[in-house]
Amino acid sequence: MENLLYIAALIAAIAFAVLVVYLAMVLKAAQRTLNDVASTLEGLEKQMEGITTESTALLNKTNKLAEDINDKSQKLNTLVDGVKGIGESVKEFNNTIRSVSSKVTVVAEQNKETTAQAMNWGTVVMNLWKQRKNNKNV
């Protein structure tokens, strides 16, 4: 019976040794996997730093572009207001010309006879002046 105990102890020792060997192999494989994961994460970290730097630069450029667009929009608004003012001035000028034209027409209609008489007298005076001039030349 003692032999059986020795044989059982020997089998347990061999099984334990096999278990330790397999456990060592699993731990080695896990160590390689974790090393690969660590190197991948380091590479990813470097790439993220580059992306962060580029994103920051892009954000700064976008902010500058937005400010530039805002400034140009304000200037364009000023220009549009100026053109609007010119349009209003031209409209007022046209209204003034229409008003003056209407008044001249009304006055001309009211003084039609007086104007005709003035034209006749003007013609008579011119004819007399021409006759006098012709008489002096002769």
Each residue's pLDDT tens digit, 93-117: 888 888 888 887 877 777 777 777 7
pTM of the model: 0.43
Helices 2-110 and 112-137: angle between axes, nearest 10 degrees:
60
Quickly count helices (H) and strands (E) in the chain.
2, 0
Asked if the model's pLDDT at residue 17 lies above 90, the reply is: yes
Domain boundaries, the chain: 1-108
Q: Given pLDDT bands bounded at 50, 70 and 90, which one contains residue 138?
A: low
Distances (CA, A) of 39 to 28, 33, 43: 17, 10, 6
